[in-house]
Chain A
Amino acid sequence: MKITQEEVDYVALLGRLALTPDEKEKYLAQLDDILKYMDMLAEVPTDDVEPMAGPVELYTPLREDEVTPSLPADEALANAPARWGTAFKVPKVIE
């Protein structure tokens, strides 16, 4: 095993996932497989290769600093389960 039960619990916590014991078993095995694939990739010699995060040699385009219209109030808040004026209303987030 490349991964422990505790690590699965920790990753689930970080991802805000509530997993059942069965799901934890299932994901433990799946994550373990993924890590094994990574080990296989690590066998490829890459000492002479520059690290890259994407397959294309492109750079991010930039936009001019120009203001464009924002959403109207009702659209900005269309998905809000609760609102107060034009603010989103959420359960209190500090003690």
Chain B
Amino acid sequence: MEYEAVIGLEVHAQLLTDSKAFCGCSTRFGAEPNMNTCPVCQGMPGVLPVFNRKALEYTIRMALACHCTINEFSRFARKNYYYPDLPKNYQISQYELPVSEHGWVEIETENVKRRIGITRIHMEEDAGKLIHDETRPVSYVDLNRTGVPLIEIVSEPEIRTPEEAGAYLRVLRSMLVYLGICDGNMEEGSFRCDANVSIRPKGAEALGVKAELKNMNSFRYVQKGLQYEIERQQEVLSAGGTVVQETRLFDPSTGRTASMRSKEQAHDYRYFPDPDLLPLRVEPQLVERIRNELPELPAEKKKRFIEEFGIPAYDAGVLTAAKELAEYFEETVNLFPNPKAVSNWIMTELMRQLKGEEYGIASCLVTPTQLADLLKLIDNGTVSGKIAKTVFEDMCSTGRDASEIIEEKGLVQVSDTEELRGIIRKVLDDNPDEVSKYVGGKKKLMGFFVGQVMKATKGQANPSRVNEILAQELGTRGAP
């Protein structure tokens, strides 16, 4: 039987506020354990949480960017569970009345565009961190992260393949970073994803039993984890078995998922409205102000790049995936107004240096000004396109200017006609056999001569000039 997968994703994004969601403790990463805690985030009796206005505004930004409805009235609720990373024994979240719901984002896989529905975006607080001792039966609790504001973005179960899941996550991360509300770092956990996945016979309406996947801390792991889980469920059903509803952890070292088998499995969160927090009212004027202040989002920027710069849709997609890369492109084009040339250089040479990771631009040593200068030097013939690539590698590792490297290493392109003619005559004199074969009709040897000239000039000869002069010189030798 042919099955199809039904995937829903829950994304948690840490908001870039200075202080926590319900108290004034710092959200700064990397402090000594428990140095950013107070009676509120430690869950002491008798304290009162007060919500962070910026966390609310950031949430509304994302909700509007995802075409969600903003609820004028919403509520905070307590989600009860026992685990030492949560000192209150409940997490403040939203349940029945989230701040926003009913949105969508557009994703694109293999040139097919599709809308994925967003069920809801709500606000909650993060839990602390546990470090488990590897040799002794103890764990260490650090509550610095406890109370850091999060948004949870819940998708409709409309994702069908691991590739779509990856595309959806990339779209969300890109939007969060453009909006300036989350750093989008998956490895450090400021952007996290859990997946609900089930399979059903293709074309069926009813949903199968789902498994919840956790511990996938990169885009690649999400896709691998989902792929493995879909295949696992297919095998179970094909063998006449049944899928069990459970939480499964992805193991990056094996690429498999395994059941958590935890006693905490029997979750009964007993949500109820948090009596410490009054209902939240979001005034329509606030929503309108935030809507008017929304920056250009990735999809709009991509469209503009295609129209304004005339670059292909694929290039525009890569260039706008990360905000910093898009800005890098635009700044370079301002200084060297040939968008196609700039795009080509970024898409090939720069992306190779960034190992295909758009966000790597943040640590790139070459500034837009330096890249524009290099492109100008290619344009005016000072350096060949081929040599420029090695110059660029040098620039990426040292951060030095192109002109400095070219001068120091003597890489200036040889375009001088007389100089080249001298070199070419010598090459022809040194290879009389090839010359006579060429004259005799073996025209393919042209490539050989060009190669010899390049070798003699260490690749610095201007290729179009070389072709021109070689043709002339060979022409004279062909004459009887």
Contact = CB atoms under 8 A, between A and B. Distances in A.
A60 B33 contact: no
B278 to A, nearest CB: 4
A63 B51 CA distance: 6
Given A59-B279, A85-B32, A76 B51 contact: no
Interface residues of A, number: 34
Interface string B124-144: 000000111100111111110
A88 to B, nearest CB: 4
Nearest to B15: A65
Interface hub of B35, B75, B83 (most chain A Cβ within 10 A): B35
A53 interface: yes
A89 B131 CA distance: 10
Contacts of A60: 50-51, 76, 277-281
Contact of A66 (B19, B82, B140, B278): B19
B140 A62 contact: no
B52 interface: yes
B138 A63 contact: no
A68 B136 CA distance: 36
A67 B132 contact: no
B22 to A, nearest CB: 9
Interface string B10-38: 00000001110001111000001111111
A65 B18 contact: yes
Interface hub of B52, B55, B136, B139 (most chain A Cβ within 10 A): B139
Contact of B278 (A59, A84, A87, A88): A59
A86 B31 CA distance: 11
Contact of A65 (B42, B52, B75, B138): B52
A70 interface: yes
A65 B17 contact: yes
Interface string A1-37: 0000000000000101000000000000000000000
Nearest to A94: B132
B444 interface: no
Contact of B137 (A62, A67, A91): A91
A93 interface: yes
B439 interface: no
Interface hub of A56, A59, A90, A93 (most chain B Cβ within 10 A): A93
B56 interface: yes
A36 B262 CA distance: 36
Contact of B50 (A61, A70, A87): A61
B19 to A, nearest CB: 5
B469 to A, nearest CB: 68
B459 interface: no
B360 interface: no
B376 interface: no
Contacts of B140: 84-85, 87-90
B268 interface: yes
Given A14-B268, A54-B278, A85-B32, A70 B37 contact: yes
Given A65-B17, A66-B18, A71-B38, 4 more contacts: A54-B279, A63-B52, A70-B38, A95-B262
Q: What 7 A-B pairs are tightest by C-beta distance, nearest first?
A: A68-B24, A65-B54, A87-B140, A88-B141, A59-B281, A87-B33, A62-B53
Interface of B: 17-19, 23-26, 32-39, 42, 50-56, 75-76, 80, 82-84, 130-133, 136-143, 262, 268, 270, 273, 275, 277-281
23 contacts: A14-B268, A54-B275, A54-B278, A59-B279, A60-B277, A61-B50, A64-B53, A67-B19, A68-B25, A68-B38, A69-B24, A71-B42, A73-B32, A76-B34, A84-B138, A84-B140, A86-B35, A89-B141, A92-B137, A92-B138, A93-B83, A93-B130, A95-B262
